[in-house]
Homo-oligomer: A and B are copies of this chain.
């Protein structure tokens, strides 16, 4: 068992296993986030290899603001088409987000006025790095998860507000984009949405959960970031920007853009190959395959997420000790899940990530195993009351 925590916030997450022993190599993985099963797609592997072979290098040792490999520009162009936005690619989504924080804080995205920046308390993007970077320049607040009422109050009381949230939350759930857009229209709210768990699995071209809920032109009051390492099946991260001035601002002033390495050529090649899949009929096939598997899970195990179209399900256990024992039992039965522990105590959940790559019979066996281990461990049938 591993308990991870952050020294500055005291926030901890617990996961059962810190790497599986070799004898468990046959375990079926329900922790990974390759929701469409693209991470080992032959075309994506081939794309990564080909890019390295063609350019005889993995990484250009320059800032990309000086020299860059052509495929990086090609990738940004193709992604811009898919997401219908001005897309910048980074070596990771964390760096993409990080580079945006001082720019948000500066007020340059909000007509020159430094904004009040509001975080959703559950946002993955709400990392201890981002808030101090913002707070050094402007006011920062954190509100309850999806608390639209509180957000509207802040919009009423402050002339310039930025809201930072996830599109799809890694522990289940999602942002009410429709309500957020209403606040945007009513108060000029600026939205910064990390859709790492939403892209690829929604939209005809995998535009994601958030992007299709905005107009064709993303506009000057919305930025969406996303990882290319989850559903997308490649490596790295992106920013989707809506305005030419924003693109110029980020290409000049995002420090990770200028001062850290661009995605390496394997990441670029893999992402270009994944883009081709995103623009083919195969994407819809994989999205439907994922939906069938989510529905199958829902028919067998009831969760708070039941019926929604996201691939993350959390099974409420309560006691941390029980949750860990149950996850261990499930693992012994051949299925790797994780335990999500967040304050307050006694709210432990088992987290399951369903993907298009899972076999139907494995999902059935996982569900049976979950129900059986809960009863064995707690002496009560699921759902626990």
Contact of A235 among B17, B59, B102 (CB under 8 A): B59
Contact with B along A82-118 (1 / 0, CB 8 A): 0000000001111100100111011010000000000
A255: which B residues are within 8 A, CB to CB? 6, 127-129
The count of residues in chain A whose C-beta lies closer than 8 Å to any C-beta of chain B is 81
A336: which B residues are within 8 A, CB to CB? 67
- Residue A252 lies at the interface, judged by CB distance under 8 Å to chain B: yes
- Residue A344 lies at the interface, judged by CB distance under 8 Å to chain B: no
Contacting chain B: which of A49-57, A212-220, A292-300? A49-57
Least CB separation from A57: chain B residue: B40
Contact with B along A260-271 (1 / 0, CB 8 A): 110011110010
Contact of A95 among B18, B92, B266 (CB under 8 A): B92
Docked CA distance A101–B128 (Å): 10
A63: which B residues are within 8 A, CB to CB? 15
Least CB separation from A94: chain B residue: B260
Copies of this chain assembled into the complex? 2
- Residues of A in contact with B (beta carbons under 8 Å apart): 2-8, 15, 17-20, 29, 31-34, 39-40, 42, 44-45, 48-49, 52-53, 56-63, 65-68, 91-95, 98, 101-103, 105-106, 108, 124, 127-129, 131-133, 135-137, 227, 229-230, 233-235, 252-253, 255-256, 258-261, 264-267, 270, 336, 338
Contact of A61 among B32, B49, B98 (CB under 8 A): B32
Least CB separation from A97: chain B residue: B260
Let me know if A58 and B266 touch, CB within 8 A.
yes
A56: which B residues are within 8 A, CB to CB? 40, 42, 45
- With both chains docked as a complex, state the minimum distance between the C-beta of A356 and any C-beta of chain B, in angstroms: 13
Let me know if B98 and A129 touch, CB within 8 A.
yes
Let me know if B49 and A53 touch, CB within 8 A.
yes
A45: which B residues are within 8 A, CB to CB? 52-53, 56-58
A267: which B residues are within 8 A, CB to CB? 58-59, 264, 266
